[in-house]
């Protein structure tokens, strides 16, 4: 029963926080926009001025830009595919009543609490290192040449590392969803003669749709900005084979100290994120409506 005046009062109450949030977002965004049209290099501050769209053009003409764009999307898509698929399977597994179940769950969730640069360092030096790594030792044990993960398959390796980090998150959310599925439904289906696969396909998977949507949306937000793992392992290389858009912006801002170009890259990243978000919400958003 809201009257016009009570709605007005409610709006008045919310206004301060809305204004605050707006400032929170608008000031950095407009500063980035401003700098993206300026020539502003920290190392030669005497040369400044408006440059129109030059900073943007530089990005579009840079040979590594399209690769970086592709890598960014490949990273997001690859990690989502791995984490959701394996997440569902692991959630099904640890949902089974077994001895030491709570301990098992803690073990599965543990990787999520390892900080990204630490996780990347561990993978680089203890697993993938061509001389000292575990994989190299295994390969030599079988009489094979060690695989040069970070040199020959840099993007695959990074997708692997990031997937390892984010798998527990997907598993956790999906497990919670699984636990809310009533066992009576499954038993009824079993009595009607539905096999294990049919039960999974027609009861469990539809039940998980919403949870999967949440996993995809939340992970996409974080995966678009993945930086630490790349910085720690390949530094975007060899060449630009594992350079993503955030890493390319970092290189312009920190290595080249070109604030104008970095700002233009930031705006491009914002636009890319919005495009991805638009398609995601259109494709998946309706799953979230009750």
Partner 1 sequence: MTRTLRALLGACAVGALSTAAMAETTITVATVNNGDMVRMQGLMDDFYAKHPDIKVEWVTLEENVLRQNVTTDIATGGGQYDVITIGTYEVPIWGRQGWLVSLNDLPAEYDVDDLLPAIRGGLTVDGNLYAAPFYGESSMVMYRTDLMEAAGLTMPDAPTWADIEKAAAAMTDKSKEQYGICLRGKAGWGENMAFLTAMSNSFGARWFDENWMPQFDQPEWKATLDFYLNLMNNYGPPGASNNGFNENLTLFQQGKCGMWIDATVAASFVTNPNDSSVADKVGFALAPDNGLGKRANWLWAWSLAIPSSSDAQDAAKTFINWATNKDYLALVASKEGWANVPPGTRTSLYENPEYAKVPFAKMTLDSINAADPNNPTVKPVPYVGVQFVAIPEFQGIGTTVGEIFSAALAGQKTADQALAEAQAAVLEEMKASGYIQ
Work out whether 151 is an interface residue with partner 1 (CB under 8 A): yes
3 or 145, CB closer to partner 1? 145
Q: How far is the CB of 103 from partner 1 (least distance, A)?
A: 36
**Antiparallel, parallel or unpaired: β 49-50 and 38-39:** antiparallel
Work out whether 237 is an interface residue with partner 1 (CB under 8 A): yes
| Residue in 129, 167, 172, 211 binding partner 1, rule: CB under 8 A | 129
Work out whether 134 is an interface residue with partner 1 (CB under 8 A): no
160 or 168, CB closer to partner 1? 160
The beta-carbon contacts of 251-257 under 8 Å, at least 24 apart in sequence, are 256/41, 257/41, 257/42, 257/43
| Residue in 47, 99, 282, 286 binding partner 1, rule: CB under 8 A | 47
Cα gap 271→225, rounded to integer Å = 13
Stretch binding partner 1 (CB under 8 A), from 42-50, 199-207, 210-218, 219-227: 42-50
Cα gap 289→152, rounded to integer Å = 44
52: left (phi over 0), alpha (psi -120 to 50) or beta: left
Work out whether 63 is an interface residue with partner 1 (CB under 8 A): yes
| Residue in 236, 246, 260, 265 binding partner 1, rule: CB under 8 A | 236
Work out whether 239 is an interface residue with partner 1 (CB under 8 A): yes
Query: How far, in Å, are 59, 76, 148, 183, 191 from residue 71 at the CA level?
Result: 15, 9, 19, 42, 48
Stretch binding partner 1 (CB under 8 A), from 18-26, 98-106, 230-238, 276-284: 230-238
Q: How far is the CB of 130 from partner 1 (least distance, A)?
A: 4
Take residue 4 and report the two structure tokens written for it: 């016009």
Work out whether 50 is an interface residue with partner 1 (CB under 8 A): no
Q: Give me the residues that bind partner 1 (CB under 8 A), please.
A: 41-47, 58, 63, 129-132, 145-146, 148, 150-152, 233-241, 251-252, 254-258
């Amino acid at each position: 029963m809201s009257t016009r005046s009570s709605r007005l009062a409610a709006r008045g109450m919310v206004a301060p926080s809305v204004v605050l949030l707006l400032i929170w977002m608008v000031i950095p965004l407009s500063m980035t926009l401003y700098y993206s049209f300026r020539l502003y290099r920290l190392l030669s501050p005497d040369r400044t001025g408006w440059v129109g769209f030059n900073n943007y053009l530089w990005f579009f003409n840079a040979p590594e830009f399209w690769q970086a764009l592709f890598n960014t999307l490949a990273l997001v898509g690859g990690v989502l595919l791995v984490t959701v698929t394996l997440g569902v399977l692991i959630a099904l597994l640890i949902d089974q009543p077994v001895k030491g179940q709570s301990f098992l769950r803690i073990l599965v969730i543990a990787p999520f609490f390892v900080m990204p640069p630490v996780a990347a360092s561990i993978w680089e030096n203890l697993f993938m290192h061509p001389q000292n790594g575990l994989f190299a030792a295994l390969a030599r044990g079988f009489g094979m040449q060690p695989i040069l993960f970070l040199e020959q398959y840099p993007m695959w390796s990074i997708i692997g590392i990031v997937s390892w980090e984010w798998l527990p998150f997907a598993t956790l959310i999906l497990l919670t969803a699984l636990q809310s599925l009533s066992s009576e439904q499954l038993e009824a289906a079993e009595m009607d003669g539905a096999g294990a696969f049919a039960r999974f396909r027609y009861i469990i998977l539809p039940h998980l749709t919403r949870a999967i949507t949440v996993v995809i949306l939340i992970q996409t937000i974080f995966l678009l900005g993945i930086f630490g793992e790349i910085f720690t392992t390949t530094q975007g290389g060899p060449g630009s084979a594992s350079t993503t858009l955030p890493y390319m912006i970092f290189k312009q801002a920190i290595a080249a100290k070109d604030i104008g170009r970095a700002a233009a890259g930031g705006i491009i990243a914002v636009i890319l994120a919005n495009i991805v978000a638009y398609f995601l919400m259109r494709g998946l958003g309706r799953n979230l409506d009750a």
